[in-house]
Amino acid sequence: MYSEKFQKSLALVEAAREKNIALEPDRMTAKQKEDLLAAFHPDYKKDEFQELKIGPNKGEKVPTELAEILQAHSRISASSIDLENPDYETDVLIIGGGGAGSSAAIEADNAGAKVMIVTKLRIGDANTMMAEGGIQAADKPNDSPATHFVDAFGGGHFAAKRELLSQLVCNAPEAIQWLSNLGVEFDKTEDGTMVTTHGGGTSRKRMHAAKDYSGAEIMRTLRDEVLNRNIPVIDFTAAIELILDENGRAAGAVLMNMETKELMVAKAKTVIIATGGAGRMHYQGFPTSNHYGATADGLVLGYRVGAKLLYAETLQYHPTGVAFPEQIFGALVTEKVRSLGAKLVNVNGEVFMHPLETRDVSAASIIRECSERGNGVDTGNGLGVWLDTPMIEEIGGEGTIMSRIPAMWRMFAKYGIDIRKEPILVYPTLHYQNGGLDINPDCMTTNVENLFVAGEAVGGIHGKNRLMGNSLLDIIVFGRIAGQSAGAKCKDVTVGKLTLDHIEKFEAEIGKAGIDTEKVSPVLLPDYTRRK
């Protein structure tokens, strides 16, 4: 279905396919990777970052778009909120209805706590739903959590908080069991053995999947469990400001009905931020694979009450976002496509990298191929490289694409592209927030008591780059830990007088630092209004 302008390059890709399948591209050396990242990865573009002038990370640099919302005005004035007569009272307030929030809710419920989820969209409208390729766990005889740790620690540039990463990998096999018991249908062979594949940077095949809609399958199951337990879910209701008590401990949130804009107060003994990522902030103008509500809200809520951020300057650009057709620009092309054998090929039909380098390296390599080397394909809406999907059928046999990545096939078939027969065009897309709020192993923030965080809003689990499949894992492992910790902690908490004094303090800091801004935050939803 590709138009005439693609045909010359397509012919080169097809002609080189047999040779390219047999080719074993070299892995890059550590030095080659470092140089590549420094020159081409968006995280290294100094002029796209701004130093924070206020707050707990004052003096550190974060993406300009994030700095603007971290240092923006509150959506409310404290005096307009009646804190004396809360609309809701609960033990554990969970902000966010994705995989982390739902896992937390289930475990807090198990701990006997009264739990409530608030979500600005609906339960399941989350990046969890969008995750495709799988979830890592070292549960095969040739693997171990220690090996998983080494892969992830190296992939994250040795920057992960060791105690968090250790929890991640050690709890992974049990997380798979937990999900299976709840009803997640992982891919298995006829004898019941889990099917596992490689991801970028993995030394063992430990990616468990439900075809290429692993996140949707996990979210379906978690949502059913939350609803079956009758855990209250207040949907289309955003948390727009955290509430502290007079002792400086998290004690609830101001909520806003997304439709009527009515404000409400939820009082709680413990609060869990599980608000997910930031793709809809479109850092550096990148498209995104994220769901509509991914606007870094949790980072803003936490920062304003004084919670520290860790590695907020590092973002993940998934190497293979859709570059063509325009209707699905930026959507995720799962890494599993490369796990199954498809290679990245330039306009001349040449393989230019090993297909399973870590994500930051792969993204930078594609950017270099399209920019400095001038080997990108002009898509009419930017540049891209080919991902030679027909290789999968050649390597795995006819039917592999329909049995392993049917959602990929369907996504492109809608636009007349049959990925079994034709390659696809890809370019990096904003995918994941590596950094976030700094937590202890029990998921409580390092400096605000009774404020817990789980999922993509956490920083430090993966260091400065995350491996494929460790995010679906982290929402389960740390979602559960947050639920257990918050559920246990609330038994010892007596909430003091509620206050929103931090809003005025933050406002004073904005003024003192001479920050001239009209922005308010959290952002809640992206603004795609066309302007002149």
Residue with Cβ nearer ligand MEZ (249 or 431): 431
Q: Does the footprint of ligand MEZ cover residue 334 (CB under 6 A)?
A: yes
Q: Where are the beta strands (DSSP E) in 61-107?
A: 61-63, 88-95
Smallest distance, ligand MEZ to C-beta of residue 460, A: 17
Helical axes 162-170 vs 172-182, angle rounded to 10°: 40
The catalytic residue among 338, 354, 462, 502 is 338
CB-nearer residue toward ligand MEZ: 265 or 340:
340
16 within 8 A of 391, measured Cβ to Cβ:
no
Residue 252 per-residue DSSP state: E
Instruction: Identify the CA nearest to 358 among candidates 41, 13, 99.
Output: 41
Residue 339 lies near ligand MEZ (rule: CB under 6 A) = no
Q: Note if 318 is an active site residue.
A: yes
Of the residues 92, 123, 131, 265, which one makes contact with ligand MEZ according to CB under 6 A: 131
Using an 8 Å Cβ cutoff, are 457 and 278 in contact?
no
Residue number with CB closer to ligand MEZ (209 or 370): 209
How many binding residues for ligand MEZ (CB under 6 A)? 11
Q: Which stretch binds ligand MEZ (CB under 6 A): 18-26, 249-257, 330-338, 372-380?
A: 330-338
Residue nearer to ligand MEZ on the CB measure, 277 or 522: 277
Taking the least distance from each CB to ligand MEZ, the nearer of 279 and 460 is 279
For the bound state, the minimum distance from the C-beta of residue 220 to ligand MEZ, rounded and expressed in Å, comes to 16
Question: For the sheet containing 196-197, what is the strand order?
Answer: 135-136, 207-208, 196-197
Q: What minimum distance in Å lies between the beta carbon of 369 and ligand MEZ?
A: 19
Distance CA 397, CA 262 (A): 57
Q: Which amino acid is at 399?
A: G
Give the shortest CB-135-to-ligand MEZ separation in angstroms.
7
Q: Is 161 exposed, middle or buried (0-12, 13-18, 19+ CB in 10 A)?
A: buried
Of the two residues 389 and 471, which places its CB atom closer to ligand MEZ in the complex?
471
- Binding segment (CB under 6 A) for ligand MEZ, from list 179-187, 256-264, 329-337, 404-412: 329-337
Task: Find the shortest distance in angstroms from Cβ 215 to ligand MEZ.
Answer: 7
Q: How far is the CB of 208 from ligand MEZ (least distance, A)?
A: 11
What radius of gyration do the chain's Cα atoms show? 23
Residues 453-482 that bind ligand MEZ (CB under 6 A): 468-469, 471-472
Q: Contact at 8 Å (CB) between 251 and 495?
A: yes
CB of 5 to ligand MEZ, least distance (A): 28
- Give the Å distances, CA to CA, from 486 to 177, 178, 272, 338: 23, 20, 8, 39
**Which of residues 375 and 471 has its CB atom nearest to ligand MEZ in the complex?**
471
In the complex with ligand MEZ, the residue whose CB is nearer, 214 or 484, is: 214
* Stretch in the footprint of ligand MEZ (CB under 6 A) among 184-192, 240-248, 328-336, 480-488: 328-336
Contact indicator for 476, 179 with CB cutoff of 8 Å: yes
336, 132 in Cβ contact below 8 A?
Answer: yes
Closest C-alpha to 360, from 352, 370, 371, 368? 368
User: Looking at 130-138, 415-423, 449-457, 493-501, which segment touches ligand MEZ (CB under 6 A)?
Assistant: 130-138
Quick check: 132 binds ligand MEZ (CB under 6 A)?
A: yes
Please identify, using beta-carbon distances, which residue of 6 and 153 lies nearer to ligand MEZ: 153
Q: How far is the CB of 149 from ligand MEZ (least distance, A)?
A: 17
Residue nearest to ligand MEZ (CB): 133
Report if residue 315 touches ligand MEZ, rule: CB under 6 A: no
Q: 520 pairs with which residues across the strands?
A: 73
Q: Distance between CA atoms of 76 and 456, rounded to whole angstroms? A: 26
Residue 471 C-beta: closest distance to ligand MEZ, Å: 4
Which residue in the set 297, 335, 369, 393 belongs to the binding site for ligand MEZ (CB under 6 A)? 335
Pair of tokens at residue 61: 């640099």
Query: Is 292 exposed, middle or buried (CB count within 10 Å of its CB: 0-12, 13-18, 19+)?
Result: middle
Exposed/middle/buried for 372, CB within 10 Å: 0-12, 13-18, 19+?
A: exposed
Pick from 198, 280, 336, 404: which binds ligand MEZ (CB under 6 A)?
A: 336
Q: How many residues does the chain have?
A: 532
Compute the Cα dihedral for 144, 438, 122, 328 and give only its sign. negative
Q: Which of 280, 304, 318, 359 is catalytic?
A: 318
Identity at 224, one-letter amino acid code: D
Interface positions, 134-193, toward ligand MEZ (CB under 6 A): 134
From the list 38-46, 56-64, 131-139, 229-237, the region that binds ligand MEZ by CB under 6 A is 131-139
- Of 1-9, 46-54, 98-106, 331-339, the window that binds ligand MEZ (rule: CB under 6 A) is 331-339
- Residue 346: partners with Cβ closer than 8 Å, 6 or more residues away: 352, 369, 373, 375, 376, 377, 385, 386
Catalytic positions, please?
Answer: 318, 338
Residues within the interface to ligand MEZ (CB under 6 A): 131-134, 334-336, 468-469, 471-472
